[in-house]
Amino acid sequence: MFKYLRKAHYHETDQMGLIHHSNYVKWMEEARIAFMDELGLSYRSLEESGIASPVTGINVEYKKPVRFDDEIEIRVSVGRYTGVKLEVKYFIYNVTSGELAAEAISSHCFIKDGRIISLKRDKPELDEMIRKSMEGQE
């Protein structure tokens, strides 16, 4: 499974002394883009080809705190995928504490010229890449 590594930064803490919960949503995006890069699906070139992939939903369950300077490992994988809608799953591990810090899901669609497109129909090569990554997950 794809792993994205980063540190928790000082500017991400809040006065509770922990990483503020809104930052996990940014980390998920970083991990998702790195995961797509790994699949050969560069987000930069996706956008340059006129396709945007907006987030239609997020769900985060916070389990254990993350503190400044902790090492974070995010395991990313494709959840459900219909050819039109994509769900990405995240397990956010706090390597420093050895705990699962959070589990999360983000939902996405794909948009071209202001309209939702079917990757299956309009971008079969991307559709293929996503399906392939799902096989590898078993």
Q: Is 38 in the site for a copy of itself (CB under 8 A)?
A: no
Annotated catalytic residue within 14, 37, 69, 70:
14
State the residue for tokens 């794909």: 110
Residue in 5, 38, 49, 59 binding a copy of itself, rule: CB under 8 A: 59
Cα distance between residue 128 and residue 119, in whole Å: 9
Q: Is 78 in the site for a copy of itself (CB under 8 A)?
A: no
* 14 counts as catalytic: yes
Q: Are 49 and 42 in contact (CB under 8 A)?
A: no
Cα distance between residue 119 and residue 56, in whole Å: 16
Q: Are 71 and 101 in contact (CB under 8 A)?
A: no
Closest to a copy of itself by CB, 9 or 132: 9
Closest to a copy of itself by CB, 30 or 128: 30
Closest to a copy of itself by CB, 60 or 100: 60
> Of 8-27, which residues contact a copy of itself (CB under 8 A)?
9-11, 13-18, 20-23, 25-26
Burial of residue 99 (CB within 10 Å: 0-12, 13-18, 19+) is middle
Q: Is 61 in the site for a copy of itself (CB under 8 A)?
A: yes
Q: Is 30 in the site for a copy of itself (CB under 8 A)?
A: yes
Integer angstrom CA distances of residue 99 from 25, 49, 68, 105, 113: 19, 40, 15, 18, 43
Contacts with a copy of itself by CB under 8 A lie at 9-11, 13-18, 20-23, 25-26, 29-30, 33, 42-44, 47, 52, 54-62, 65, 68-69
Report, as residue numbers or ranges, the catalytic residues: 14
